Structure 1
C-alpha cells in the first residue's frame, strides 16, 4: 500500500510538474558526464543518458502548444543513431546524431518557451520550465559545437591544443557562453565556431531579457494580487 501510494504520488507530481522531471534529469546527467570519458563504458553511459533525457524532453513538449510529431521525427533517429554509434563504436554516426539532437533540443526549448508565454499566470511548473529551457539551450549548442568540430577539425582550442575538445569541454563552453559568465578555457578559433558562439550569446541575452524577466514580473504581480 505504501509503495502504491508513493507511485501514485509520483504520478500526480509528474502530471502537474513535468518540467521539474526534465530539469532533474538534465542536472543528473550533468553530474554523470565526468564519467563519460573515451572508454566503452563511458560511451555506453552517454547513450543511456540520451535514452532518458530525449523522451523526457518530448514528454514536456507534448504538453506545450508545439507539434510533438515534429519532435519525434527528430528524436527517434537521434536516439537510434546515438545508441548504435556508441554501442557499435561507429564514430562516423555521432556527428549526424549530434545534428539531430541539437535540432531536437532547440525544438524542445522553443516548445517550453511557447508553454511559458501562452498565458499571464505563472505556475510552479513554468518556473521549473525556465530552468529546463536553459539546460536544453545549453545542450543544443553543445551538440552544435560537437558537429562543428566534426566538420571543421580544430574549430576549438584550449589546454592541450593539439587534440579535439571533449564533450564535457564543449558543454562547459556552452554553459559559460549562454550564461555570459565568460569563465571558459575553451575558445572558438575559426569562423563557423565563432558564429555559433555569437548566436549562443545572443540567445542567452534574449532568453534572460524576455522569458525570465517576464516570468519574474508576472510572479511579482501575482503575489501583489493574492489576498493577504
Structure 2
C-alpha cells in the first residue's frame, strides 16, 4: 500500500489525476447540491474550485497560460456578482466565459499530451481529464444557450422547466461519448447545432488524441 506521506509529491507530479478526481466527484455531488436549499451557492463554490484546479493543470502546458488566467478571473468576478444580484444576462455571460475557459483548458491539455513521443503517467490521467473538461465546456455552452434562448432543451420530466446543471452535464457526457442523447433533447436550431458539434468533438478526440497515446504505449512495450 502506498504511504500517505508520499501523496503530495505524487499529486504534484500528476496534477491531471487530481483534476479528474475532482470532476468525477462533482458528477456524484451535483445532484445533492441541487437538492440543497443553498444549492446554487454550493454549485458556484464547487465550480470555482474545479476551475482553480483546471487552471493549475493548464499552467503546466507549453501553451501560454495568460488567457486561462484572464478567463478564470472573469468567471470568478461575474460569479460573485451573480450571487449578489442574479441576472439572466449575467448568467449567460458566466456560462460563456466558463465554456471558453474549459475549451482553452482542453486545448492546453491536448498540446501537453502531444508535445513529445513519450506517454507519461500524468499524460494518461490528462487523457481522461481532457474528456471531462470537454464535457464541462459543452455543458456550460448548453447552459448559455438555455439562458439566451429559453426552452432550448426538453425532457420527458417537467418539459417546460429549464434543464438543471446535472441534466445539461448528462447531455454533454452522452453526446461526447456517442452513446446517444437519452431523455434530454435539443429542441431549437442553435441547441441542435451545439449538440452536433459536441458529437463531432467526441469522435475526433478519441480518434486523434486517445489513439495516439495508445499507439505510444504500444510502441514503448514493443521496444522493451
TM over 0.5: yes
Query: Is it true that 1:182 corresponds to 2:164 in the alignment?
Result: no
Alignment correspondent of 1:62: 59
Report the count of equivalent residues.
Answer: 220
Alignment of 1:76-225 (within 5 A): 76-86=73-83, 88=84, 90-92=86-88, 93-159=90-156, 160-225=158-223
Comparing 42-51 and 102-111, the one that deviates more: 42-51
Aligned equivalents of 1:40, 1:47: Cα separation in 2: 14
Choose 70-79 or 89-98, whichever is displaced more.
89-98
Give 4+ residue runs of structure 1 displaced > 4 Å after superposition.
none
Whole-angstrom distance in 2 between the partners of 1:156 and 1:49? 24
Cα separation, 2, equivalents of 1:47 and 1:89: 14
Gapped runs of 5+ residues in structure 1? none
| CA deviation map 1:1-45 (0-9, x unaligned) | xxxx956x2331122101001101111111110013265421111
Alignment of 1:37-76 (within 5 A): 37=34, 40-76=37-73
Residue segments in structure 2 that go unaligned for 5+ positions in a row = none
8 Å Cα contact 1:50-1:79 kept in structure 2: no
CA-atom RMSD in angstroms: 1.5
Structure 1: distance between partners of 2:18 and 2:36: 29
TM-fit CA distance, 1:141 = 0.3
Deviation for aligned residue 1:201 = 0.6
Alpha-carbon separation, structure 2, partners of 1:30 and 1:94? 21
TM-score (normalised: structure 2): 0.93
Matched residues in 2 for 1:6 and 1:172: separation? Answer: 34
Which whole-Å CA distance do the structure 2 matches of 1:30 and 1:90 have between them? Answer: 25
Q: Is the 8 A contact 1:64 1:112 kept in 2?
A: yes
Residue pair 2:34, 2:43 contacting (<8 A) in 1 also = no
Q: TM-score, normalising length from structure 1?
A: 0.92
Q: CA offsets, 1:182-227, max 9 Å, x none?
A: 151111111100110010011000000000011111111111112x
